[in-house]
């Protein structure tokens, strides 16, 4: 709301200044110069007053910006009767601030749902019935019903026999976790199985998810806002401007020369060209599916030296996939997959749905199963085309067909084994894993070429799983088993080496994203909390978009710097000409407009930045046999 009011105020100031300029010109050319002067003054005063207030606020916070030059030029022009020059400067300055506000607002819209993942109500058992209550009304000891697909609202213990929850947004574990009776369930996790009862152990405000949200708020509050790129040259440029203006007045005794110097020095190339280049970069990045939430993050993104990556859903796909099929009794691999997928159509379990998706991707027509019975957390039993099929964990299926579970110690860490039995015989096994995203190796190599010096992995998953997945990527470090606050500490420690970018997708990543110089969220499937905490959101589910995003950010910043250097150089030449008496204040204002047009046209080149598009290799065929199981988990 505060941002909206500020944007409206800046728009109003621009409209007043522009109206005053053009209305004054109309009166001047109609032969009424006195009325024109009054109108120009009326258009300048609101812009000057707003500028003075902004300068005072900046000085109180210890910041000195180029706005002082604009205030001096408008004030001097009004004092010495150069009202037209003052009006031109007012329009140039208010236009620059409006454009900068527009850039920020455009990049941040529709990204204000930090708590959209949190349920607003919960279902509580009471007097033999169910009632919907607000989260704040939940008390320890309450028995809650968690339906399939619901987000667990508070920390508690499982009151039903079993529960299946997806904790990937909290812990980084890519596969659903089975919880037995009495096991702890964290708020923020999602019910991936049948409905179950939960006994609340904490109030909502003291639960895991609420703590993560507080970490996000604290990290955001501790990160200082970025100063504008132009202000880095402010003190030097201000000193040069005042020196030339004072010298011109001192040696000639003509105050108008000093006014002309100040008007030419008005830093519109910095106020206008920099935001134009950066917002053009924002638009260009969005074209490639990279949403950058403002010019500040874009500029910081161009200076990144350290990259920290989450694993589940970021470096990996985040969804279990079949990496190999082990056939028994000579049954074809495709037939094993087809029968398993046909039966699993009756289950909503994430692993079952992944098997169904894999079969459909291979073009199998799946018949409708019959006589289906699902044992939550164990497996599914039913008939497919008249054949009895059992799909589930190896222990469960082996017990149903009267044989001992096999030794599958060769399976890579982090993989899941799904057994398939047909007509009372073990038909085979499907090995599933959360695979590394395709093209990750090429992307990391490209980022190193772009100047990223250190690349680290930070995950809540086990170390053996993380090491297997990242083997051969050439990472500079791996941190496993991290909690959300430990990820924040890692980010803060790495920031001592230089600007840090953190990439993640889950609620557990949100505090680290907020603490990093640039936080990047996988927005296509990531949690709303991480998307809100981040400075950059990848709108497509492809981490390899990081490369084009950084390349565009660096190109836009380079063009912005070029515009600054060219604008300042031309302004200094104009100031010297004004000091020598070759330019009047109005001529200086018009010259400044020419300089503005030149540097803005240069800044618009950011819209034509063409980053190197990532090349995604074609997926490999699914292999079979135990020899492939150990290697197939990392395509």
Helices vs strands, H then E, count in the chain: 22, 23
The Cα–Cα gap between 249 and 15 comes to: 34
The answer to whether the CB of 595 falls within 8 A of the CB of 567 is yes
The Cα–Cα gap between 466 and 470 comes to: 6
The Cα–Cα gap between 606 and 172 comes to: 37
Place of tokens 């949100």: 510
Is 310 a catalytic site residue? yes
SS3 sequence of 307-356: EEECHHHHHECCCCEEEEEEECCCCCHHHHHHHHHHHHCCCCCHHHHHHH
The answer to whether the CB of 356 falls within 8 A of the CB of 311 is no
Selection from 411, 459, 513, 542 nearest residue 114 by Cα: 513
The Cα–Cα gap between 389 and 378 comes to: 14
Torsion angle defined by CA atoms of residues 338, 343, 347 and 353, in that order, rounded to the nearest 10 degrees: 0
> How many Å is the Cα radius of gyration of the chain?
32
Residue 442, φ and ψ in degrees, nearest 5 = -65, -40
**Two tokens, residue 92:** 């140039």
The Cα–Cα gap between 218 and 461 comes to: 25
Residues 6+ apart with CB under 8 A from 502: 308, 310, 458, 487, 491, 509, 512, 513, 515, 516, 518, 519, 520
Catalytic residue among 67, 150, 166, 310: 310
Place of tokens 């236009």: 95
Active site residues: 310
């Amino acid at each position: 709301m505060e941002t909206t009011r500020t944007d409206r105020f800046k728009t109003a100031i621009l409209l007043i200044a522009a109206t005053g300029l053009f209305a004054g010109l109309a009166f001047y050319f109609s032969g009424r110069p006195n009325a024109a002067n009054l109108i120009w003054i009326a258009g300048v005063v609101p812009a000057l007053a707003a500028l003075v207030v902004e300068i005072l606020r900046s000085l109180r916070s210890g910041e000195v910006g180029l706005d002082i030059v604009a205030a001096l030029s408008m004030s001097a022009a009004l004092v010495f009767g150069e009202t037209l020059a003052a009006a031109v400067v007012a329009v140039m300055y208010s236009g620059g601030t409006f454009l900068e506000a527009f850039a920020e607002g455009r990049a941040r819209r529709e990204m204000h749902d930090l708590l959209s993942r949190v349920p607003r109500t919960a279902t509580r058992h009471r007097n033999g019935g169910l009632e919907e209550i607000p989260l704040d009304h939940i008390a320890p000891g309450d028995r809650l019903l968690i339906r399939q697909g619901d987000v667990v609202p508070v920390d508690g213990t499982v009151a039903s026999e079993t529960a299946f929850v997806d904790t990937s947004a909290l812990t980084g574990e890519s596969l659903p976790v089975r919880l037995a009776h009495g096991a702890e369930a964290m708020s923020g996790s999602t019910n991936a199985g049948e409905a179950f009862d939960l006994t609340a152990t904490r109030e909502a405000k003291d639960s895991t998810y609420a703590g993560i949200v507080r970490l996000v708020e604290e990290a955001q509050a501790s990160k200082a806002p970025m100063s504008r790129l132009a202000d880095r040259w402010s003190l030097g440029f201000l000193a040069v401007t005042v020196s030339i203006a004072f010298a011109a007045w001192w040696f000639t005794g003509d105050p108008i020369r000093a006014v002309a110097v100040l008007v030419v020095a008005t830093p519109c190339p910095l106020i206008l060209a920099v935001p134009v280049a950066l917002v053009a970069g924002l638009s260009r990045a969005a074209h490639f599916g990279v949403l950058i939430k403002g010019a500040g993050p874009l500029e910081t993104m161009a200076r990144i030296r350290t990259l920290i990556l989450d694993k589940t859903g970021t470096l990996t796909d985040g969804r279990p996939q079949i990496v190999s099929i082990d056939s028994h009794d000579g049954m074809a691999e495709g037939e094993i997959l087809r029968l398993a997928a046909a039966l699993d159509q009756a289950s909503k379990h994430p692993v079952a749905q992944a098997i169904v998706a894999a079969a459909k991707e291979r073009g199998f027509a799946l018949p409708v199963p019959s006589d289906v019975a699902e044992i939550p957390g164990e497996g599914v039993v039913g008939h497919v085309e008249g054949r009895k099929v059992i799909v589930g964990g190896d222990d469960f299926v082996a017990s149903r067909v009267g044989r001992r579970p096999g030794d599958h110690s060769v399976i890579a860490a982090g993989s899941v084994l799904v057994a398939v039995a047909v007509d009372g015989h073990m038909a085979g096994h499907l090995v599933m894993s959360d695979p590394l995203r395709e093209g990750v190796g090429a992307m990391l190599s490209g980022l190193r070429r772009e100047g990223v010096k250190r690349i680290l992995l930070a995950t809540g998953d086990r170390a053996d799983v993380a090491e297997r997945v990242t083997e051969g990527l050439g990472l500079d470090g791996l941190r496993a088993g991290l909690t959300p606050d430990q990820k924040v500490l890692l980010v803060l420690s790495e920031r001592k080496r230089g600007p840090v970018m953190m990439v993640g997708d889950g609620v557990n990543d949100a505090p680290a994203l907020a603490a990093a110089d640039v936080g990047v969220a996988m927005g296509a499937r990531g949690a709303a909390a991480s998307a809100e905490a981040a400075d950059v959101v990848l709108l497509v589910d492809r981490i390899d978009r990081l490369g084009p995003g950084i390349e565009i950010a660096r190109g836009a910043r380079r063009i912005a710097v070029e515009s600054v250097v060219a604008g300042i150089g031309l302004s200094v030449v104009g100031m010297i000409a004004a000091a020598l008496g070759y330019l009047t204040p109005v001529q200086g204002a018009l010259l400044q407009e020419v300089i503005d047009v030149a540097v803005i046209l240069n800044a618009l080149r950011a819209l034509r930045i063409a980053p190197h598009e990532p090349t995604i290799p074609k997926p490999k065929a699914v292999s079979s046999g135990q020899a492939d199981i150990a290697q197939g988990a990392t395509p």
